[in-house]
């Protein structure tokens, strides 16, 4: 107890003075050089997750406000970009678009991954505040109510996600229900009657996935009352998503295999393109052809979907436009051009990109 109390007193005493890299280094138990490289995002240098967490935690606790500095010593305004992961090209493309726009506006960027963990999303807020970031962009917010309740309204924030009227924050949105409806109409026009929807975790923390399913189900049910949409999903924990960079592909492959014995199914709708790639592999490994035996659709239109050998029918989600637009909204908030009392909502429509993975169904 005595040691803990003394440490607390030392931290309060240090915070009353100008906090330096030396203070942060001592609190984190690392060198000043390590602190500098971690906080400034030094390229070409990597550290253990525990080291990075210790440095950011110490900087936040001590109230370090060093910021990123240019060659002339001036502080460079920084934006924290928060994403579930960077292995899915959807998020890496959005991040790159944000960085392109940020560079034009004079912002440095830092990337923080959450793997859809509430603790990580809240930690991202703490880091943004503790590091004196100019603002934060969530490329997806899995727990909006919990996170926004603890958000500091003085910290400009933009969320990229599903269309929701109840979020009191600036948003760049997609109507994923309509995206699911778009796929349903395409499948009906081709003549399919029995579909399988393949997805990773379907719950309240993943509204994009559930809205795509609901739009698919409702519209297909109206157009083809005699048809069906079978749902196959597998729950993925944040820990599993962190540990396995191929998890979306593996889930698509695993769940599609389970559907191949059902001869009524003639088409697969994957929750996103990465899962669709797993579906494609399962179909071909089973000795079947695409689209002769099975049609396959995805969502997002990430860049590999147009590659020869994949040619995936999918829904365009304008990743680059959304990323650039999110940064512009945030920039206007930061410089005070947008009122704190006004909420900016930008909604992108969808476009079906028809490629060689879909065709009329085989004879059942």
Model-level pTM?
A: 0.79
The CATH architecture that domain 76-364 belongs to is 3-Layer(aba) Sandwich (3.40)
On whether the 1-66 domain is CATH 1.10.287.810, my answer is no
Q: What are phi and psi of 163, to 5 degrees?
A: -65, 120
The per-residue pLDDT for range 120-140, each reduced to its tens digit, is 999 999 999 888 889 999 999
The torsion of the CA quartet 129, 135, 140, 143, rounded to 10 degrees, works out to 40
Residues 335, 135, 86: CA angle, nearest 5 degrees: 135
Provide the 3-class DSSP secondary structure of residue 295.
strand
Residue 209 pLDDT grade (very low, low, confident, very high; cuts 50, 70, 90): very high
The per-residue pLDDT for range 344-354, each reduced to its tens digit, is 888 888 899 99
What are the domain boundaries of the chain?
1-66, 76-364
State the number of CA atoms in the 13 A half-sphere of 175 facing the CB. Answer: 13
Element (H, E) at 176: helix 176-190
CA distance 150 to 129: 12
Provide the 3-class DSSP secondary structure of residue 158.
strand
Residues 183, 275, 270: CA angle, nearest 5 degrees: 20
Work out the number of other CB atoms within 10 angstroms of the CB of residue 227.
16
What is the pLDDT, as a whole number, of residue 314?
Answer: 98
């Amino acid at each position: 107890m005595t040691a803990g109390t003394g440490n607390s007193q030392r931290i309060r005493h240090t915070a009353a003075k100008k906090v330096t890299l030396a203070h942060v280094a001592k609190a984190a138990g690392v060198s000043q050089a390590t602190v500098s490289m971690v906080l400034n995002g030094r390229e070409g240098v990597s550290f253990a997750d525990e080291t990075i967490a210790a440095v950011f935690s110490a900087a936040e606790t001590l109230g370090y406000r060093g910021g990123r500095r240019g060659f002339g010593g001036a502080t460079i305004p920084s934006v924290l970009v928060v994403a579930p992961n960077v292995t899915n090209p959807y998020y890496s493309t959005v991040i790159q678009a944000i960085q392109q726009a940020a560079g034009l506006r004079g912002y440095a960027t830092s990337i923080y991954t959450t793997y859809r963990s509430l603790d990580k999303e809240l930690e991202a807020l703490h880091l943004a505040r503790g590091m004196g970031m100019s603002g934060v962009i969530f490329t997806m917010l899995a727990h909006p109510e919990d996170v926004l309740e603890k958000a500091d309204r003085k910290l400009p924030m933009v969320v990229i996600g599903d269309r929701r009227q109840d979020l009191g924050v600036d948003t760049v949105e997609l109507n994923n229900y309509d995206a699911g409806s778009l796929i349903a109409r395409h499948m009906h026009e081709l003549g399919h009657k029995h579909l399988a929807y393949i997805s990773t975790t379907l719950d309240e923390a993943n509204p994009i996935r559930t809205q795509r399913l609901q739009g698919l189900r409702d519209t297909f049910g109206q157009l083809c009352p005699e048809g069906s949409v079978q749902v196959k999903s597998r729950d993925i924990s944040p820990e599993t998503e962190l540990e396995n960079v191929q998890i979306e592909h593996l889930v698509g492959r695993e769940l599609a295999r389970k559907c191949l014995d059902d001869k009524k199914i003639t088409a697969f709708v994957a929750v996103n393109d990465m899962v669709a790639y797993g579906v494609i592999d399962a179909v071909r490994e089973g000795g079947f052809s695409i689209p002769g035996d099975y049609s396959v659709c995805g969502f997002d239109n990430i860049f590999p979907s147009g590659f020869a050998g994949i040619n995936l029918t999918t829904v365009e989600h304008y990743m680059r436009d959304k990323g650039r637009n999110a940064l512009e909204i945030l920039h206007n908030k930061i410089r005070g051009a947008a009122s704190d009392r006004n909420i900016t909502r930008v909604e992108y429509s969808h476009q079906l990109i028809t490629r060689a993975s879909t065709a009329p169904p085989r004879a059942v």
